Amino acid sequence: MSTDRAHAERAAPAADEAGLAPVRNAARLLGHGLAGLRRVVLDVAAAGLRAADPAAAAERLVRYDGRILSAGGRRYDLDTFRSVVLLGAGKASLPIAAALERKLGDRIGGGLVVRRRGSADVVKFADVIDADHPVPSSASLQAGRMLAELADRLGPRDLVLTAFTGGSSALACLPPDGVPFEAKQQLHALLLDSGASIAEVNTVRKHVSAIKGGRLAARLGGASILNFTVSDVVGDATDLLCDPAVQDTTRPGQAVAVLHRYGLWQAVAPEVREHLLGGQCESPSLAGADITTVVLVTGADVLAQMSGRARALGWRPAVLGSSIEGEAASLGGFLGAISAESSCRGEPFPAHSVLLAAGGEVTVAIRRSAAAGVGRGGPNQEAALAFARALGRDQAAVAGIFLDSDGSDGGTDAAGGCVDATTAARAGRVPLSLDDAIARHDSAAALGLLGDLVMTGPTGTNVSDLWVVAIDAAGP
């Protein structure tokens, strides 16, 4: 019996492709390599994506009896408010807005939700417009202006429900006075390539904005604010999740330090430097404001569901946590090395283990030059290639999947990559150099050639990265 067939038979009970939703190309991913182990990681990862559904969480956590809205430990008598308005922007915002609308119906008296272009959900009682991510476009600028104009019309007799989630910085973008929009676009692009963490990136973006860093909340004129969001950052800090509508905890000096740390201070436009050194970029104080924030889904929530699914499939879950941070290729290579060792030697993880990580963050630092071309891909795709490269050094029985839960890793149309211990050998037969693909950050093309890109389309959620690794005992 071949090693691959043995693993296929020892793997979890077969799940049909419908059970692997929202993965759209499961048949292709299972058509080569260690199919049994691939099915395990696909099944567990798909369970994680389904568990990250913010609409389902809102259905559970929000109550409404026709008059009293209850959420986050608060009760709001809607009859005491002049209006209930819905504002939001982000990759998971429209599903949240749709769930709130199903609860409240026409008690929502208007608003605006900015969705990522290509998203499918709609709402009836608020306007919905499309904008762009990860670099803001003219549509993003218009969205930022519209949100600010709506906020300026509200006051203390209004209740504002918000759905700001990951991606809102690009989807609704409004630069402060004195900073041209083109300078703001360039700032976003430079930060995306820098390798900075999301906390560092947002520290800068919050202080070069007319709506981020709590500035939208300050424009609401004393309205009551009830925020709904999901966590896509380590630690679940609310001013990284829904920062337009909560108190900022960072200072302008920290933003300046981030730009210096990554060698960007001289690269950004002079208007950005002048703004950050001036007196207008301090985030407003929201002391005394009526603000409640409900985090609907966290990485820890998703991990619990993934662990349960792994156990149901007869595997032993090993939770690595929801706080993984670092450079994609290094982390992917490290995880590949310990997985290969576990498969071949039985430690540090025994055979029939599934390693799980969620809610963390991996980054890629891109140094662009005329001499060296840069391809397309994302941090999860690059981590998958590095994982496969590390596995290729041993005759391991390992498969892994690395996903951005929003369905678009690095702004591509792929969610991530699914690889196994045969991937490096298959790459050699193409021929394809994994070293070269990683060095040129061309992971999407490499995984595409190997048939290992994971396609989900927009998932309507955003709990950052989901990693699943299945480890079995290496064959003789």
DSSP at 13 = P
In contact, 71 and 103? CB cutoff 8 Å = no
Domains of the chain, start order = 3-52+299-472 (3.40.1480.10), 54-297 (3.40.50.10180)
The predicted-structure confidence for 194-207, as pLDDT tens digits, reads as follows: 989 888 999 999 99
- Does the pLDDT at position 219 exceed 60? yes
Decide if pLDDT at 179 tops 90: yes
| Neighbour-count burial of 16, counting CB atoms closer than 10 A to its CB (0-12 exposed, 13-18 middle, 19+ buried) | exposed
- Is a pLDDT exceeding 60 seen at residue 1? no
Please determine, for residue 32, whether its predicted confidence score (pLDDT) is greater than 70.
yes
Strands 111-116 and 127-131: parallel
Please say if the pLDDT value at position 14 is more than 70: no
Q: Is a pLDDT exceeding 70 seen at residue 210?
A: yes
222-244 tens-digit pLDDT: 999 999 999 888 778 899 889 99
Residue 148: which pLDDT band, with cuts at 50, 70 and 90? very high
pLDDT digits (tens, 9 = 90+) for 378-400: 999 999 999 999 998 768 999 99
pLDDT at 157 over 70: yes
Q: What is the mean pLDDT of the chain?
A: 92
Confidence (pLDDT) at 317: 98
Q: State the pLDDT confidence band at 13, using cuts at 50, 70 and 90.
A: very low
AA identity, residue 310: A
DSSP-based three-state secondary structure for 431: coil
CB 443 within 8 A of CB 321: no
Provide CB contacts within 8 A for 32, sequence distance 6+. Answer: 422, 426, 451
pLDDT tier for residue 413 given thresholds of 50, 70 and 90: very high
d(CA 57, CA 336): 33
What confidence score (pLDDT) does residue 368 get?
Answer: 55
pTM for this entry: 0.91
Judge contact between 418 and 474, C-beta under 8 A: no
Q: Looking at residue 371, what is its pLDDT?
A: 42
Instruction: Specify the pLDDT at position 367.
Output: 63
> Strands 63-64 and 68-71, how do they pair?
antiparallel
For the packed helices 54-61 and 93-104, what is the interaxial angle rounded to 10 degrees?
A: 30
| Whole-number pLDDT of residue 476 | 72
Measured CA to CA, the distance from residue 167 to residue 89 in angstroms comes to: 8
Length of the chain: 476
Segment 104-116, tens digit of pLDDT: 999 999 999 999 8
What is the C-alpha to C-alpha distance for residues 102 and 98, in angstroms, rounded to an integer? 6
Residue closest to 39 by CA, chosen among 21, 24, 20 = 20
Q: Which residue has the higher pLDDT, 224 or 18?
A: 224
Q: How many CA atoms lie within 13 A of 162 on its CB side?
A: 32
Q: What is the DSSP code string of 88-112? A: EESTTHHHHHHHHHHHHGGG---EE
* pLDDT(364) > 90: no
Which has the minimum average pLDDT: 171-185, 198-212, 319-333, 369-383?
369-383
| Nearest C-alpha neighbor of 133 from the set 453, 466, 404 | 404
Least confident of 18-22, 186-190, 296-300: 18-22
Q: What is the token pair recorded at 197?
A: 């963490």
- For residue 90, which of 149, 172, 22 has the smallest C-alpha distance? 172
What's the pLDDT band for 70 if we cut at 50, 70, 90? very high
